[in-house]
Amino acid sequence: MNSNGNMVASLLETVMVICFGLSWPLSIRRSLKSRTAQGKSLFFEVFIVIGYLCGIVAKTILHSYNLAYWFYYLNTCMVSIDICLWFRNTRLDQRREKGEKV
């Protein structure tokens, strides 16, 4: 692929990762506000993190440190925060089920 093709492909990948990443702050906000794990899937979020980590490893192997590379890290951090909130909210759900005040 020529240089222009690589630039376009890199730009498109960056836009894709940014678009995916835009949803995570909203998900984190919802997790913080709702204080429940209902409607969240730990399984789904773990697979998302695995996908982002694969993107990071692929970029590292290829020494392709474009803007998308750094957004893979940012997105991984945000999903990881949401996973931590899932565990917190699951504990809160369990306490509510026992009738404890949360």
Residue range 59-80: average pLDDT? 96
Residue range 63-89: average pLDDT? 97
Pair of tokens at residue 54:
């694969």
Predicted model pTM: 0.90
Q: Counting beta carbons within 10 angstroms of the beta carbon of residue 99, is it exposed (0 to 12), middle (13 to 18) or buried (19 or more)?
A: exposed
Q: Counting beta carbons within 10 angstroms of the beta carbon of residue 22, is it exposed (0 to 12), middle (13 to 18) or buried (19 or more)?
A: exposed
- Residue 62's pLDDT is 95
